[in-house]
Amino acid sequence: MGEFELLARIRERLPLAGGRVRLGSGDDAAVTIPGGATATSVDAVVEGVHFRREQASLAQIGHKALATALSDLAAMGAEPGEAYVVIGVPPDLDEDGCIALLDGMATLATATGTSLAGGDVTRATELFLAVTVVGHAESPDSFVSRAGARPGDVLVLTGELGGAAAGLVLLQGPLRARQLEPQPRIGAGMALAGAGATAMIDISDGLGGDSGHLAQQSGVGLRIDASAVPIAAGASEIAASAGGDPWQFVLGGGEDYELLASISAERLDEARQAVREAEGIALTEIGEVIAGEGVEIRLPGGRALEPGGFDQLA
């Protein structure tokens, strides 16, 4: 397989969804007309670390690589623009395999209005994918960083947690897709940004850890009522049957790619409606922002967890 031939085949399949791309893959660089401000994130997945080819199809691996990168844009409230993809191709992955990876990405790219605008293919010992995504907004103030939460804000969460961790246990059934084909909350992120979210982060490492990042970067404390967190149907049962604590799934399990945001109480209803209109999912109040530092998580029955403490629940 020649690199040039593969690149040519790949170029034919790259969907240029947006109107921002003036010159796509195949020149020295892609040329785009950005918005007034851009948000850029990179994410890499490596075989044996982030996925196994026995457990996921190539299309699912491609989907997830792009989905995790787009989830970071969702957490900024950015409008997806372009994605650039590096594929490290091991000896046992043929040209059709590369195309299958890319088709998994292309389907999600089309669904989210993302242009696959460029890439690079290289030989490698193990399969890896590195994805750079660029999102746009009118001005830098339109983006929601992790650093703007203010005491008095309420803490809200999109969708439900626990599904991806349970899907990892099962790798079968309806929760399997939650693990293998996560959906970045692009619409919800833009809706929350538009409704005045003061800080936002995506739940990739687990609610316990990611809420800590938001608290630290905002210089505030968070108080989370664990019993208010919506749990994916079946996740508690799977946790129990696997001998685990359901709270470990909810608080420590990552890869749900829901969004955690802070927002003033006055705008909560507006945000809830905007998220429902944008993505058809619920926005749930799960806690509050307080002065101080750290995250206090209250479990049913009066137990309280300090940051990091959720790890000891397992």
User: Could you say whether residue 150 binds a copy of itself (CB under 8 A)?
Assistant: no
From residue 27 to residue 66, the character string flagging contacts with a copy of itself as x (rule: CB under 8 A) and all else as - is xxxxxxxxxxxxxxxxxxxx-xxx----------------
Q: Judged by CB under 8 A, does residue 197 bind a copy of itself? A: no
Verify binding: residue 311, a copy of itself, rule CB under 8 A. Answer: no
* Cα separation, 212 vs 218, whole angstroms: 10
Find the shortest distance in angstroms from Cβ 236 to a copy of itself.
29
Q: Which of 314, 298, 303 is nearest to 211 (CA)?
A: 298
Burial of 122 (0-12, 13-18, 19+ CB in 10 A): exposed
**Distance, CA of 280 to CA of 169 (rounded, Å):** 27
Q: Is 112 in the site for a copy of itself (CB under 8 A)?
A: no
- Look at residue 83 and give its three-state secondary structure: strand
Does the protein bind a copy of itself through residue 288 (CB under 8 A)?
Answer: no
Cα Dmax for the chain: 63
- Work out how close the CB of 244 gets to a copy of itself at its nearest, in angstroms, rounded to a whole number: 23
Nearer to a copy of itself, 30 or 229 (CB): 30
With CA atoms as reference, report the closest residue to 106 among 118, 95, 114.
114
- On whether the CB atoms of residues 84 and 131 are closer than 8 A, the answer is yes
- 8 A C-beta contact, residue 175 and residue 269: no
Options 124-132, 160-168, 283-291, 304-312: segment touching a copy of itself (CB under 8 A): 124-132
Residue number, 34 or 173, with CB nearest to a copy of itself: 34
Least distance (Å) from a copy of itself to the CB of residue 287?
20
Of the candidates 76, 157, 283, 299, which one interacts with a copy of itself according to CB under 8 A? Answer: 76
Burial of 253 (0-12, 13-18, 19+ CB in 10 A): buried
Q: Which of 5, 94, 140, 291 binds a copy of itself (CB under 8 A)?
A: 140
Query: What residue ranges bind a copy of itself (CB under 8 A)?
Result: 22-23, 26-46, 48-50, 72-73, 75-76, 78, 82, 84-86, 88, 117-120, 122-126, 128, 130, 132-135, 140, 143, 145-147, 200-202, 217
